[in-house]
Amino acid sequence: MSGTQDATHFEDLPLEALPLDAWHRAKGARMVGFAGYHMPIQYEGIMAEHSWTREHAGLFDVSHMGQLTFSGEGVDAALEHILPSDIKGLKPFRQRYSMLLNEEGGILDDLMVSRLGDNAFDGAAIYMVVNGATKYDDIGWMIDYLPDDVVMNHMADQALLALQGPEAGEALAALIPETADMVFMQSGPFVWRGIPLWISRSGYTGEDGFEISIPADDVTLLADALCALPQVKPIGLGARNSLRLEAGLPLYGHDLSPAVSTIGADLGFAIQKRRREEGGFIGHARVMKELADGPGARRVGLTIEGRLPAREGATIHVGNTQVGEVTSGGFAPSVGAPIAMGWVSLPHSAEGTALEIEVRGKRIVAVVAPMPFVPHRYRRKA
Amino acid sequence: MSRYFTDEHEWIDVEGEIATVGITDYAQEQLGDIVFVELPAEGTTFEKGDDAAVVESVKAASDVYAPISGEVVEANGALEDEPALVNSDAEEDGWFFKLRIADTSELEGLMTEAAYKKFVASL
């Protein structure tokens, strides 16, 4: 496995089937190629699935994502070298958002990292979920940068489901009552019908919800049991994208890339105070420089006048000067209007700044807006 | 009135020298939820195959081509307020624009409804 591959290498390879492939097709999914897999883009329609998730609970198959564990002597210190986040202070059953940075501080991937208890995933110490399109590059990178004492295991035979929406809590509690007490970014091991699960209360829609890791051989059973509940319907990648865009959450490979930095991306919250002060992670110099001097450009939200959506690649202007580019955009079903996320040079990135986006030779008016576009509804500690 | 179809999934109703153009039910089904339709201005002239309109669905933007040459005499203003008309009634109320036909011989290369159905079934 080489550390120099990029996401485009999937184009040369045949698409692989996920463990739920036949299940998706039986549910009427329209399948597309994504991250090297056949994946469901939609079942009954993106708008209906989007609204269902905001009002009830949607089940997403995210088994394309990379699930990794880490164990061995000095694992925390080793991970603090490759991640800018506080790993030593990460308590058991807690999860944190983090990212892999290159030497120049560019973002190689964004990810979730959590500390396992003693009896999950063969007693490993740390569990990590990385993006599907980047997982092999991430693994190659980490092999190069982790010491030999640390064992990394890619759990390729583990599936991952996300259950998201205001009714996700009551739906999952119907199968696994012990999950009812969990709060946002908490995780832990559970057993359902004798099957070991690792569940975290988190997600990618801005709603309350869970991500459930389960052996691939058992995932059809769980997907059926969840979709048999009145609150739950299967939801495709299309709605996953519109939901996360409304939630202001960046999509790797679009809003984030090796060309951009953590501070510019407004993801500085992932780098805790101790890590900023002490450093000792790859990419620290860029973080400190941008904290002191400001980044060259920032990831911002954009509200758009009218109904014409501005999509990825559309250029952003002030008069005759290009000041940025749209990196994600489309119609936002819960907002009822087009919205976008983009990168804009620092002087033009303040909230309320009026900009113009060029779409097919026409200029449309956009205003830098606070994110999320739709308020987060996570279940936080009372 | 006769109705023709193209392999770009458009329908064309011809009445005298005026052709009404829209996208087929199969096309709207493939596009998914339509959120915006960009229509040509009255008076615009197209050669057959020119970009004539753009359909924005939740997923993506798709071009609609002029199926024959002609001058736009009317665009369907109802789509401005209700682009979802294309989903709910693609082959009637969801029409896009009307053209004054420049060259009736171009109609000869288009498909009949039966031929179009066969074409869709082969996809």
Q: How would DSSP label each residue in A128-197?
A: EEE-TTTHHHHHHHHHHHS-TTSEEEE-TTEEEEEEESTTHHHHHHHH-GGGGG--TTBEEEEEETTEEE
Q: Which CATH number fits domain A7-62+157-246: 1.10.357.10, 3.30.1360.120, 3.40.190.10, 3.40.50.1480?
A: 3.30.1360.120
Please tell me the predicted confidence (pLDDT) of residue B103.
95
Q: Do B36 and A42 touch (CB under 8 A)?
A: no
pLDDT at A12 over 70: no
CA distance B59 to chain A (A): 7
CA distance B58 to chain A (A): 6
Chain B residues closer than 8 Å to A50 by CB: 58
Mean pLDDT of A150-161: 97
Mean pLDDT of A238-244: 97
What is the rounded CA–CA span in Å between residue A4 and residue A76? 26
Q: Does A270 touch chain B (CB under 8 A)?
A: no
Q: Does A41 touch chain B (CB under 8 A)?
A: yes
Chain B residues closer than 8 Å to A238 by CB: 32, 58-59
Q: Does domain A296-369 have CATH number 3.40.50.720?
A: no
What is the rounded CA–CA span in Å between residue A327 and residue B92? 36
In degrees and rounded to multiples of 5, residue A239 shows phi and psi of -70, -30
Mean pLDDT of A31-48: 95
Q: Do A47 and B33 touch (CB under 8 A)?
A: yes
Determine which of A49, A308, A339 to mutate to test the interface with B (most B C-beta atoms within 10 Å): A308
Express as a percent the part of chain A with pLDDT over 90.
Answer: 94
User: Model ipTM?
Assistant: 0.82
What is the rounded CA–CA span in Å between residue A255 and residue A232? 30
pLDDT band, residue A251 (cuts 50/70/90)? very high
| pLDDT one-digit tens code per residue, A275-320 | 999 999 999 999 999 999 999 999 999 999 999 999 999 999 999 9
| pLDDT one-digit tens code per residue, B49-82 | 999 999 999 988 899 999 999 999 999 999 998 9
Helix or strand run (H / E) with residue A58: strand A57-61
Q: Does A45 touch chain B (CB under 8 A)?
A: yes
**Which residue carries 């153009």 as its tokens?**
B21
Residue A149 tokens read as: 């004492």
- Quick one: B46 exposed, middle or buried, by C-beta within 10 A (0-12, 13-18, 19+)? buried
Contact between B23 and A35 (Cβ < 8 Å): no
pLDDT band, residue A10 (cuts 50/70/90)? low
Residues in chain A: 382
Q: Does A308 touch chain B (CB under 8 A)?
A: yes
Residue A234 tokens read as: 């299967």
Q: Do B60 and A311 touch (CB under 8 A)?
A: yes
| Alpha carbon distances (Å) from A146 to A8, A76, A257, A258 | 25, 11, 22, 20
User: How crowded is the C-beta side of A305, counted as CA atoms within 13 Å?
Assistant: 11
Exposure string of B1-35, with b = 16+ CB inside 10 Å and e = fewer, is eeebbbeebbbbbbeeeebbbbbbbbbbeebbbbb
pLDDT at A1 over 60: no
Chain B residues closer than 8 Å to A311 by CB: 60-61
Domains (ranges, CATH) in chain B?
2-101 (2.40.50.100)
Mean pLDDT of B35-39: 94
Residues of B at the A interface, defined by Cβ within 8 angstroms: 32-33, 35-36, 38, 54, 56, 58-61, 80, 83
pLDDT at A4 over 70: no
Q: Do B32 and A238 touch (CB under 8 A)?
A: yes
Residue A276 tokens read as: 């900023």
Mean pLDDT of A367-374: 98
pLDDT band, residue A46 (cuts 50/70/90)? very high
Q: Do A360 and B56 touch (CB under 8 A)?
A: no
pLDDT band, residue A119 (cuts 50/70/90)? confident
Contact between A100 and A160 (Cβ < 8 Å): no
Closest residue in B to A362 (Cα–Cα) = B38
CA distance B32 to chain A (A): 6
Mean pLDDT of A187-204: 98
In degrees and rounded to multiples of 5, residue A142 shows phi and psi of -70, -35
The ranges assigned to domains in chain A are 7-62+157-246, 296-369
Q: Do B61 and A238 touch (CB under 8 A)?
A: no
Listed by number, the residues of chain A in 1-30 with a beta carbon closer than 8 Å to a beta carbon of chain B are none
Ranges of H-type helices in chain A: 21-26, 46-55, 75-82, 135-145, 168-175, 219-227, 237-246, 273-278, 284-293
Phi-psi region of A301 (alpha: psi -120 to 50; beta: other; left: phi over 0): beta
Residues in chain B: 123
Contact between A100 and A80 (Cβ < 8 Å): no
| pLDDT one-digit tens code per residue, B82-96 | 999 999 999 999 999
Of A183, A86, A180, A179, give the one whose Cα is nearest residue A126: A86
Q: Do A307 and B35 touch (CB under 8 A)?
A: yes
Residue A5 tokens read as: 């591959």
Mean pLDDT of A125-138: 97
| Alpha carbon distances (Å) from A382 to A114, A183, A184, A201 | 22, 9, 11, 15
